[in-house]
Amino acid sequence: MHTRGYVARTARTDLTPFDFERRELRPHDVALDVLFAGICHSDIHQAREEWGPSTFPMVPGHEIIGVVSAVGTDVTRFRVGERIGVGVFVDSCRRCEHCLAGLQQYCSEGMTPTYNSLERDGTTLAFGGYSNHFVIDEDYAVHVAETLDPAGAAPLLCAGITLYSPLRRWDAGPGRKVAIIGLGGLGHMGVQFAHAMGAEVTVFSHSATKSADALALGADHFVVTSDPEVLAAHDTRYDLIINATSADIDLNPYLRLLGLDGTLVIVGLSGVPVNIHQELLLAERRSLSGSQIGGMRELQEMMDFCAEHDITSQVEVIGADYINQAWERTVASDVKYRFVIDATTF
Ligand code: NAP
Ligand code: ZN
Ligand code: ZN
């Protein structure tokens, strides 16, 4: 299928327009006309090789909302005309205990990322969502409610699930104190989810200008961290703190804020190793953990939760010719709160 998109050809060059072919439909494949594709900070990290060597040419994008345009002969879950979402991976082994448990993101053989990877045949480059068409095996796509604004729904496929999953795993809910570090694409979804789940929510941000937005999104408290004294003087004890920043920040001041058995979960991935003062973990039997997106079952659960609670991302919709500027602004924390590309502009 002839497809137009945007490509990164090296780690040091701007993205440029790109024409390529998507595969013809296999029996379990669904074709979609992409409506919107979100810009995740992971797109930038990978295209700039901030996590190590990448695979080029790279068509980034793993927050994809579209409309089904054709289905393979054996497809049962989707109909033409239906709204559909594709996230961070497009395949996995389907046999290991994690895949069978619906935790495909932790597949023992490794999931197949939506881009910056080879498909499971070991030779075909996987091209992501910065494009006008997509082809996906139906088992790796989700249903998206028509009531959700499609542009605002695109970031749910990565930013949304990446915060929803740890909030569920570590029991965000009534009576629990939850803090989110970094009010970016991920963080602003986490605030909405934690609030909807009934937790008391605090945002730690290095941008004083985001205070009103944080409270409007459902935060109960907003703490500006650009002055280290403020953080040092803060004395609330949290049950759960999620680091959703893209930068190499010192996590020790946050570990200190966890109560007994509290957990600091890392979802932000700067690519820089972290230094931890061990005594902060020992002191109150605190835990440090990480969490990676979410599996297919939980992705659908989150989509349904969003429809039920009317939760979407706050987005700035752009044309494809603005992608390079949008990346610069994302790195500068200058987006409220997710860039989403209008796929008709590819
Ligand atoms: P983003 O929209 O750019 O947001 C990152 C936020 O980090 C910014 O809005 C800012 O929040 C904060 N920040 C940025 N620079 C900072 C600095 N120098 N000091 C302190 N805070 C800073 O990024 P995103 O798309 O939400 O992604 C966040 C991170 O999560 C990225 O590293 C991404 O690769 C990773 N990620 C992980 C997963 C996973 O499965 N675990 C999935 C998706 C993304 P404030 O302005 O409020 O301080
Ligand atoms: Zn992402
Ligand atoms: Zn597997």
Check whether residue 273 and residue 303 sit in a common domain. Answer: no
Answer yes or no: is the C-beta of 206 below 6 A from any ligand 1 atom: yes
Atom of ligand 1 nearest to the CA of 330: 3
Per the omega criterion (within 30 degrees of 0), is the bond before 337 cis?
Answer: yes
Check whether residue 187 and residue 236 sit in a common domain. Answer: yes
Q: How far apart are CA 156 and CA 178, in angstroms?
A: 20
Check whether residue 230 and residue 206 sit in a common domain. Answer: yes
Pairing of strands 142-143, 221-224: unpaired
Under the phi-then-psi rule, with left for phi > 0, alpha for psi from -120 to 50, and beta for the rest, what region is 261? Answer: left
Q: Which pLDDT does position 337 carry in this prediction?
A: 97
Distance 109 CA to ligand 3 centre (A): 6
Q: How far apart are CA 21 and CA 233, in angstroms?
A: 56
DSSP 159-211: HHHHHHHHHHHTT--TT-EEEEE--SHHHHHHHHHHHHHT-EEEEEES-GGGH
Ligand at minimal distance from the CA of 326 is 1
Structure tokens given for 216? 């409007």
Work out the average pLDDT over 262-267: 98
Tens digits of residue pLDDT in 313-330:
999 999 999 999 999 999
Distance 297 CA to ligand 3 centre (A): 14
Check whether residue 203 and residue 334 sit in a common domain. Answer: no
Answer yes or no: is the C-beta of 87 below 6 A from any ligand 1 atom: no
What are the phi and psi torsion angles at 185 (to 5°)? -60, -50
Answer yes or no: is the C-beta of 45 below 6 A from any ligand 1 atom: yes
Tens digits of residue pLDDT in 192-235:
999 999 999 999 999 999 999 999 999 999 999 998 899 999 99
Answer yes or no: is the C-beta of 177 below 6 A from any ligand 1 atom: no
Number of domains in the chain: 2
Residue nearest to atom 16 of ligand 1 (CA): 247
Check whether residue 45 and residue 84 sit in a common domain. Answer: yes
Check whether residue 260 and residue 339 sit in a common domain. Answer: no
| Range(s) of the domain holding residue 28 | 2-158+294-345
Answer yes or no: is the C-beta of 185 below 6 A from any ligand 1 atom: yes
Check whether residue 79 and residue 23 sit in a common domain. Answer: yes
Domain containing residue 305: CATH number: 3.90.180.10
Tens digits of residue pLDDT in 292-307:
999 999 999 999 999 9
CB 92 within 8 A of CB 112: yes
End-of-domain residue from the set 269, 290, 311: 290
Out of 104, 333, 335, 340, mutate this one to test ligand 1's pocket (max ligand atoms within 8 Å of CB): namely 333
Work out the average pLDDT over 172-183: 98
Tens digits of residue pLDDT in 2-55:
999 999 999 999 999 999 999 999 999 999 999 999 999 999 999 999 999 999
Q: Give the predicted TM-score (pTM) of the model.
A: 0.98
Q: Which pLDDT does position 228 carry in this prediction?
A: 86
